[in-house]
Structure 1
């Protein structure tokens, strides 16, 4: 089976599973948590990106177990998620990349949203290859198109990095196909290529656990299409701070360093026991009580 067909089939399977999970609407674990209180329901939307999955499950655990709220989580793509935030159908999104990646959504919906602040600094997007690949710049990709099967392995089609990569293809005159999929599709394809020591180029970003697992590098971007380092923001629907001031205050305090988020992402990505990510996040929360308590407004 050729590489493109394998990636496409894998992507279809994972995306189908993701859509089924997203259509379920609510998280598997709901309730008032260990506080014994019931202060209302917080709805959190997320995209199937590793840092967003990790932060969403951690915030879910904190809100339920320490603050007494019901939590409902829904996985979807970026475009419908921003539309839902703007219409008031979703309360919070923890994984908005600004000022570049999600600029188009903020331009469209920003007057109907609240920015609760930065939860992670100096994030980066771009094209990523294994370090053993013998090119260092996006400009070199056409000269090595055969070894890469003239394919860039992408993630979900609504992601900002995908539209930026489409721009990069135009700006650099790349004779490449951008193949959509999902975060898990991309990392599965990356693993397969690395295991065989083959060339592969993917849409990548930090923070991401794949940089801890494999020796990878960003391709230089001399035209600056992917921009400089970005920050990850917590975005809420309009009037959320008025409706749920305690939750808003907590989310405004919530921020993680590279080491903290990397550790949390690794805890979830490296688990082989089959535990639900919310349970893994609860375990991480219990091991980092001082940090978690510092986020919760008194």
Structure 2
């Protein structure tokens, strides 16, 4: 009886193992997205990782894409929407595990200088990011230095996003350095793009706090104003920032985060998909399925 029972156990184990191999192989033939699903189906739960983010289009894009990839690698992924300051603080204290939106060296230099000893800079995930003051292409203004000559047409205001954002701090510096007779109006990424759309629909002048990558630059004809004083800095990198100990606690998740690098074109594609969708997560999932070669590079870690 015991011998017969052992045979059944060995047979069941072999059947499950064979099924896993066949399913993974079939999924691999269908594409990376399916292969990841097969791997996830047979992988044990690797634990929960919490990604913090700010409601900026670029950050939502990278966070949702990484959520899809980590879930398909066997992790449970939670996300926490925070202000920029709280996002940095949450990783430094270990309340969240990582974020993908560290704009360095200029935009978030204050946060990084204060907290760098309590967190880990995993590395840049995107090169060539840029911040500045953005106006419609049809505007007669081409330089920040000339903004005061057109204050009336801009109604004396610059439309911004959330108060804690680095681009807001740099815009306040810009107003001071250029002695601009303008008020900086805070809001959110959504209210900023809504105001931009309304102005463009009515062929009006508007100045907004802008950055690239951003889907608005693909949607409308816009331009960055020249910044002769360099108050917005030069091109930047977007960094992945993790809590101390994450590499030891979740080495595979850390390796995926470390390998995560993509282009402005990749991010713009995701942002446009998300902007036209009611579900940013599903848009990210579609992008992951459509870009198996890029995703496989991240998973090599």
Considering the TM-score relative to the shorter chain, is it more than 0.5? yes
Matches within 5 A, 1:56-75: 56-65=63-72, 67-75=73-81
Report the CA distance between 1:149 and its aligned residue. 0.6
2: distance between equivalents of 1:118 and 1:87? 21
Report the CA distance between 1:294 and its aligned residue. 1.4
TM-aligned CA distance change 1:227 to 1:172, over 3 Å: same
- Secondary structure of 2:155 counterpart: coil
- What residue in structure 2 maps to residue 279 of structure 1? 282
Q: Does 1:164 align with 2:164?
A: no
1: distance between equivalents of 2:156 and 2:96? 39
Query: 1:70-120: CA deviations, max 9, x gaps?
Result: 000011110111111111101011011000000000011010010111110
- What residue in structure 1 maps to residue 259 of structure 2? 253
- Secondary structure of 2:49 counterpart: strand
Contact 1:157 1:181 in 2 (8 A): yes
Report the CA distance between 1:37 and its aligned residue. 2.6
2: distance between equivalents of 1:73 and 1:124? 26
- TM-score, normalised with respect to structure 1: 0.86
2: distance between equivalents of 1:175 and 1:143? 10
Structure with max Cα Rg: 2
- TM-score, normalised with respect to structure 2: 0.85
- What residue in structure 1 maps to residue 58 of structure 2? 51
Report the CA distance between 1:266 and its aligned residue. 1.1
- What residue in structure 1 maps to residue 22 of structure 2? none
Contact 1:34 1:64 in 2 (8 A): no
2: distance between equivalents of 1:186 and 1:37? 43
Q: 1:111 aligns with which of 98, 107, 117?
A: 117
More helix by share: 2
2: distance between equivalents of 1:178 and 1:33? 47
- Secondary structure of 1:167 counterpart: helix
Q: Does 1:269 align with 2:293?
A: no
1: distance between equivalents of 2:162 and 2:40? 33
Aligned residues: 263
Task: Provide the alpha-carbon RMSD of the alignment.
Answer: 1.2
Gaps of 5+ in 1: 1-31
Matches within 5 A, 1:72-151: 72-151=78-157
Q: 2:204 aligns with which of 186, 198, 202?
A: 198
Q: Does 1:155 align with 2:191?
A: no
Report the CA distance between 1:134 and its aligned residue. 0.2
Q: Does 1:213 align with 2:219?
A: yes
Report the CA distance between 1:34 and its aligned residue. 4.2
4+ aligned runs moved over 3 Å, structure 1: 32-36
Query: 1:102-158: CA deviations, max 9, x gaps?
Result: 000001101001011111001000000000000100011111011101000000000
- Secondary structure of 2:110 counterpart: helix
